[in-house]
């Protein structure tokens, strides 16, 4: 379901639904004047808000969120986060690039961890390592290439065969998997709620407050259903939804993807998830299925992609159930408890669009499906850019900048073609 200015979903976020009810912050009402307004209370928006508040403790900072915290994609994701990413290949150029980006990622991780530790945010954060697994011969080749890259980068790792995977994660679905140590799992809805509840005192958050329209005269004038907000500086942290305001339409693409949590299992059934109490598995193919344990007794599956339009709910449920049961045929009697979708913003070259859009308007968008840590560092940097404390050129040189995407109808035709080809290649990885 698409709202004119923000993504609205038919199903509640499954992680959020399992948490105790929470009182959303009041909707914005009347005339409001601020120094900085941030649109969107996801990882990017809240990271920017905290950094602005830290650097400008006297400033009035307002965050508006279209829905309720925990119901956006920041609560809807699979909860994989890592202080370091593995390089994509073993070429010297890629190793250097990955090393430089990892310095940023580590800073983003530290920025995310600080409030978690300071306020004891209970988000189920657990060190899990990360398994990149292959169910097909093509996937196995990719795992071997990744192993070479990890080895070249000097990162601790292990390659697991089918039997080891069966023992550790309980399924013989995969031929092989590359285990690396740098990986954490968390409950994303609990985390984003915790971050929103512990914002600094000079940040005011309004929920159920969608931005409807914006225009600039000497300042920005923002219209929401019940308020008119005036500020000299606006940070759009809405990911691809910035396109609803006529910006970056030729840079960002909205992708829908889907997740489900199994019903809670009894101890005998949960033993089928293998000997490791915590694990998360990413597919070797980008259209493949992600699987992780969630708590002691549930499994999460994330799969399926759709360009710009959601997939019908019955098809989503049936496909995710099949992904689960194909991997765990011994659990064919266990159903899905929560099923939901979310959006993420893709760019053609995998780089974010980051920086100043026009006078007094800034954004970071195009998380490419990995926004927990990336959103945290790029949101923090954006606040620094706003205050003249970092160089736009340097950040863009490091991360790249989202390049041009063809307009409709070429875009949909192109994506349809690529998706069909990649689905065939993904095969059993899906």
Binding segment for ligand FAD among 9-17, 319-327, 337-345, 394-402 (CB under 6 A)?
337-345
Residue 62 interacts with ligand FAD (CB under 6 A): yes or no? no
Are the beta carbons of 291 and 241 closer than 8 angstroms? no
Q: Taking the complex as a whole, how short is the minimal distance between the CB of residue 352 and ligand FAD, in angstroms?
A: 9
Residue 367 interacts with ligand FAD (CB under 6 A): yes or no? yes
Q: Give the full edge-to-edge strand order of the sheet including 184-185.
A: 80-81, 184-185, 126-127
Per CB under 6 A, contacts with ligand FAD among 399-418 are none
Structure tokens at 246: 């006529």
Return contacts of 17-25, CB within 8 angstroms, 24+ apart: 17/338, 18/189, 18/261, 18/338, 19/70, 19/187, 19/189, 19/190, 19/193, 22/68, 22/69, 22/70, 22/193, 24/68, 24/69, 24/207, 24/208, 25/196, 25/204, 25/205, 25/206, 25/207
Listed residue (266, 263, 376) closest to 321, CA to CA: 263
Q: Taking the complex as a whole, how short is the minimal distance between the CB of residue 326 and ligand FAD, in angstroms?
A: 19
CB-wise, 81 or 98, nearer to ligand FAD?
81
CB-wise, 177 or 375, nearer to ligand FAD?
375
Residue 346 interacts with ligand FAD (CB under 6 A): yes or no? no
Dist CA 177 CA 198 (whole Å) = 38
What SS3 state is found at 427? Answer: helix
Residue 235 interacts with ligand FAD (CB under 6 A): yes or no? no
Are the beta carbons of 291 and 299 closer than 8 angstroms? yes
Q: Is the dihedral of CA 267, 177, 138, 425 positive or negative?
A: positive
Dist CA 401 CA 328 (whole Å) = 41
Q: Taking the complex as a whole, how short is the minimal distance between the CB of residue 97 and ligand FAD, in angstroms?
A: 19
Residue 183 interacts with ligand FAD (CB under 6 A): yes or no? no
Residue 342 interacts with ligand FAD (CB under 6 A): yes or no? yes
- 67-86 mask for ligand FAD (x: CB under 6 A)? x----xxx-xxxxxx-----
Structure tokens at 330: 């011994």
Dist CA 373 CA 370 (whole Å) = 7
CB-wise, 140 or 370, nearer to ligand FAD?
370
Residue 375 interacts with ligand FAD (CB under 6 A): yes or no? yes
Of these, 370, 398, 419, 428, which contacts ligand FAD (CB under 6 A)?
Answer: 370
Residue 238 interacts with ligand FAD (CB under 6 A): yes or no? yes
Residue 108 interacts with ligand FAD (CB under 6 A): yes or no? no
Q: Residue with the closest Cβ to ligand FAD?
A: 371
Residue 371 interacts with ligand FAD (CB under 6 A): yes or no? yes
Of these, 11, 65, 147, 429, which contacts ligand FAD (CB under 6 A)?
Answer: 65
Dist CA 324 CA 170 (whole Å) = 12
Structure tokens at 90: 């073993």
Q: Taking the complex as a whole, how short is the minimal distance between the CB of residue 96 and ligand FAD, in angstroms?
A: 23
Of these, 6, 36, 184, 399, which contacts ligand FAD (CB under 6 A)?
Answer: 6
Residues forming contacts to ligand FAD in the complex (CB under 6 A) are 5-6, 39-45, 64-67, 72-74, 76-81, 210-211, 237-239, 241, 257, 259, 302, 342-344, 367, 369-372, 375
């Amino acid at each position: 379901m698409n709202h004119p200015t923000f993504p609205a979903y038919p199903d509640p976020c499954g992680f959020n639904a399992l948490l105790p009810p929470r009182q959303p912050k009041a909707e914005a009402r009347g005339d409001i004047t601020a120094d900085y307004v941030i649109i969107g209370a996801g990882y990017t928006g809240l990271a920017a808000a905290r950094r602005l508040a830290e650097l400008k403790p006297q400033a009035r900072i307002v965050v508006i969120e279209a829905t309720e915290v925990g119901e956006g994609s920041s609560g809807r994701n699979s909860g994989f986060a890592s202080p370091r990413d593995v390089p994509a290949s073993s070429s010297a150029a890629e190793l250097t690039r990955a090393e430089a980006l990892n310095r940023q990622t580590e800073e983003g991780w530290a920025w995310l961890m600080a409030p978690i530790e300071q306020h004891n945010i209970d988000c189920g954060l657990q060190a899990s390592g990360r398994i990149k697994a292959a169910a097909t011969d093509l996937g196995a080749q990719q795992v071997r290439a990744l192993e070479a890259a990890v080895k070249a980068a000097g990162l601790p790792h292990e390659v697991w065969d089918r039997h080891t995977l069966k023992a550790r994660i309980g399924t013989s679905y995969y031929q092989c998997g590359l285990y690396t140590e740098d990986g954490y799992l968390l409950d994303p809805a609990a985390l984003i709620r915790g971050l929103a509840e512990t914002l600094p005192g000079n940040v005011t958050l309004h929920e159920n407050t969608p931005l409807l329209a914006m225009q600039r005269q000497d300042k920005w004038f923002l219209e929401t259903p019940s308020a008119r907000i005036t500020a000299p500086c606006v940070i759009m942290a809405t990911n691809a939804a910035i396109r609803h305001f006529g910006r970056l339409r030729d840079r960002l693409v909205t992708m829908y993807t889907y997740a489900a949590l199994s019903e809670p299992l009894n101890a005998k059934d949960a033993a089928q998830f293998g000997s490791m109490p915590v694990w998360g598995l990413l597919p070797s193919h980008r259209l493949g299925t992600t699987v992780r344990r969630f708590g002691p007794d549930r499994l999460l599956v994330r799969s399926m992609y759709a360009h710009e339009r959601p997939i019908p709910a019955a098809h989503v449920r049936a496909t995710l159930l099949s992904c689960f049961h194909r991997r765990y045929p011994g659990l064919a009697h266990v159903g899905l408890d929560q099923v939901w979708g979310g959006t993420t913003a893709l760019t053609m070259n995998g780089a974010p669009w980051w920086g100043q859009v026009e006078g007094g308007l800034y954004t970071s968008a195009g998380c490419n499906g990995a926004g927990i840590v990336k959103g945290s560092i790029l949101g923090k940097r954006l606040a620094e850019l706003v205050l003249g404390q970092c160089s736009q050129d340097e950040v863009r040189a490091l991360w790249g900048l989202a390049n041009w995407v063809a307009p409709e109808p070429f875009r949909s035709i192109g994506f349809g073609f690529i998706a069909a080809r990649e689905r065939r290649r993904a095969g059993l990885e899906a």
